[in-house]
């Protein structure tokens, strides 16, 4: 599978020198677990900033949902631990519990001073301020809130690469719609999302001058797309990229986005690209926040597909507005403040410790429970 180098689209820091690694180890060590693809672009700039300030960062990665591939794209140094266990709730619970056990030896060996994540299973949770504390199973005093949405953290680093349209055989005058099928293997999947997605493809496929770029989530969806719309593929109205493409770059060079995926929708909203969600289920606080501000359109019926989707070329500037850099700095400063408060443990070698590790495992168990009841 071809993997596209992301350096044209996101700034990537060079590897740390041995001298800096020693300094970082002395200053403190932070553990970050990446178990879902959206975590990678979110934490990549945070990791870079922390390393610039001489903090050591331990990254663990779960082999699922292209997390490993994205970590490689961002040149992250990580340890691969665990994988996806399947859609069923029993297998999901067993897999997540087993991975929690797999993580323990690494955490005890690395002895980090702080554990940070975007889920309620670490010492500190980082999340947008639009998410109410009542929706989070964690002590409010251990929640780091930031303005905007998490995609605003890494979007300012994005540098467009205009060659992507030519690589996909797309003409500049064509209206390009990037589409992504619903997460059919997720436990929260609703068949109504499939109906809306199919209706959107049928609607756009009949519009003259519109080209669809489909991004299947896995091999199964790739086969389904080919079997479901062979005519669109044959006449070039739909394209499926070979291998991994830079999602941000594709979104930026699209005129609209239609997806049931939260991250892709929010990335489009952050980039100012018209985006339509075919997700049917409980709408999260962030998506509702974007919808209320007109940055995301929620499609709820086939009629919405035919009446709310606007087909037009967008006036695309050379690059996105650079207005959210302060969010990244705010998050990093919060983490550093916590590390400074814990600095004595970094020098005495106490680290997270067994009691705190048990607390982290307990929060992971709470997360598993909440995920299975969604």
Q: Got the DSSP string for 189-238?
A: --HHHHHHHHHHHHHHHTSTTEEEEE--SSHHHHHHHHHH-HHHHHTTSE
- For the segment 220-234, the average pLDDT, to the nearest whole number, is 96
| Domain 6-156+323-372 matches domain 161-308 at the CATH topology level | yes
Q: Whole-angstrom Cα distance, residue 9 to residue 86?
A: 32
Whether 312 has a pLDDT exceeding 50, the answer reads yes
Q: Whole-angstrom Cα distance, residue 28 to residue 31?
A: 10
- Where exactly are the structural domains of the chain? 6-156+323-372, 161-308
Confidence label for 120 from pLDDT (cuts 50, 70 and 90): low
What's residue 109's pLDDT? 92
Number of alpha helices (DSSP H) and beta strands (DSSP E) in the chain = 16, 12
Looking at residue 16, the DSSP 8-state letter turns out to be P
Q: 240, 179, 225, 226: which is closest to 204 by C-alpha? A: 179
Whether 205 has a pLDDT exceeding 90, the answer reads yes
Confidence label for 186 from pLDDT (cuts 50, 70 and 90): confident
Q: Whole-angstrom Cα distance, residue 198 to residue 5?
A: 32
This prediction has a pTM of: 0.73
User: Which residues lie below 8 Å from residue 156, measured CB to CB, with a gap of 6+?
Assistant: 320, 322, 323, 324, 325, 328
Question: Is residue 93 classed as helix, strand or coil in its secondary structure?
Answer: helix
User: Which residues lie below 8 Å from residue 139, measured CB to CB, with a gap of 6+?
Assistant: none
For the domain made up of 6-156+323-372, give the CATH fold: Rossmann fold (3.40.50)
- For the segment 264-280, the average pLDDT, to the nearest whole number, is 95
What's residue 345's pLDDT? 47
Whether 360 has a pLDDT exceeding 50, the answer reads no
Domain 161-308 falls under CATH 1.20.1050.10: no
Q: Which two tokens stand for residue 179?
A: 């589409």
């Amino acid at each position: 599978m071809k993997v596209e180098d992301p350096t044209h689209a996101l700034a990537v820091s060079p590897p740390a020198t041995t001298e800096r690694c020693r300094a970082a180890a002395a200053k403190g060590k932070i553990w970050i677990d990446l178990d879902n693809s959206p975590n990678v672009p979110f934490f990549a700039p945070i990791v870079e900033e922390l390393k610039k300030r001489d903090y050591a960062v331990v990254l663990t990665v779960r082999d699922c949902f292209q997390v490993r591939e994205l970590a490689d794209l961002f040149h992250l140094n990580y340890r691969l631990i665990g994988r996806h266990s399947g859609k069923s709730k029993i297998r999901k619970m067993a897999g997540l519990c087993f991975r929690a056990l797999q993580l323990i030896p690494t955490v005890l060996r690395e002895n980090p001073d702080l554990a940070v994540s975007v889920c309620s299973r670490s010492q500190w949770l980082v999340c947008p301020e639009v998410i109410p504390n009542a929706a989070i199973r964690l002590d409010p005093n251990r929640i780091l809130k930031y303005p905007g949405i998490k995609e605003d953290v890494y979007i300012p680093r994005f540098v467009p690469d205009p060659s992507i349209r030519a690589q996909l055989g797309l003409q500049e005058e064509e209206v390009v719609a990037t589409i992504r099928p619903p997460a059919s293997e997720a436990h929260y999947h609703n068949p109504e999302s499939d109906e809306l997605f199919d209706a959107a493809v049928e609607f756009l496929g009949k519009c003259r001058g519109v080209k669809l770029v489909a991004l299947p989530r896995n091999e199964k969806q790739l086969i389904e797309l080919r079997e479901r719309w062979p005519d669109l593929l044959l006449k070039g109205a739909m394209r499926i990229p070979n291998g991994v493409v830079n999602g941000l770059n594709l979104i930026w060079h699209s005129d609209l986005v239609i997806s049931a995926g939260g991250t892709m929708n929010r990335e489009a909203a952050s980039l100012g690209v018209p985006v339509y969600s075919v997700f049917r289920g409980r709408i999260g606080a962030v998506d509702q926040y974007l919808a209320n501000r007109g940055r995301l359109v929620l499609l709820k019926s086939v009629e919405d597909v035919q009446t709310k989707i606007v087909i037009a070329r967008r006036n695309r500037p050379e690059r996105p507005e650079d207005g959210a850099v302060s969010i990244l700095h705010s998050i990093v400063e919060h983490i550093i403040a916590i590390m400074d408060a814990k600095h004595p443990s970094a020098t005495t070698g106490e680290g997270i410790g067994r009691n705190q590790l048990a607390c982290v495992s307990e929060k992971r168990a709470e997360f598993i429970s909440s995920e299975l009841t969604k």
